[in-house]
Amino acid sequence: MAEQTPVVEAIARRLIDECRRDIAAAELHIAAMRRILAGSQWLIAKWDERRRRDAVTGGIRLPAFDAMKASGFVTIEETEEPRRRRRRRAG
């Protein structure tokens, strides 16, 4: 039993070192993502403004939709799910 203790400790040390390296790498990734997010706040604000301008299209101009909206009627088409064919029983 005493012979296994050093082996278990060596495996545990290796796993702990590996976890510490993974945590350090994750901290670097988080720091990089924070910098990217901070640098892109202007873009997010621009998208939010577009979304508020026209909630339906998100600020994107769709001529066909605009024409339907101007006419006062916007049709909503329901999608039909394809019917499943039933297998006939052999017999």
**Residue-level pLDDT at 50:** 75
Q: What is the pLDDT of residue 58?
A: 60
Q: Give pLDDT, residue 11.
A: 94
pLDDT given at position 59: 59
Owner of token pair 């296994």: 4
Ramachandran quadrant class, 82 (left: phi over 0; alpha: psi -120 to 50; beta: rest): beta
What is the predicted pLDDT for the residue at 21? Answer: 97
Positions in the chain whose pLDDT score sits under 50: none
pLDDT at 56: 65
> Could you count the other beta carbons within 10 Å of the beta carbon of residue 47?
13
pLDDT given at position 57: 63
Cβ pair 79, 70 in contact under 8 A: no
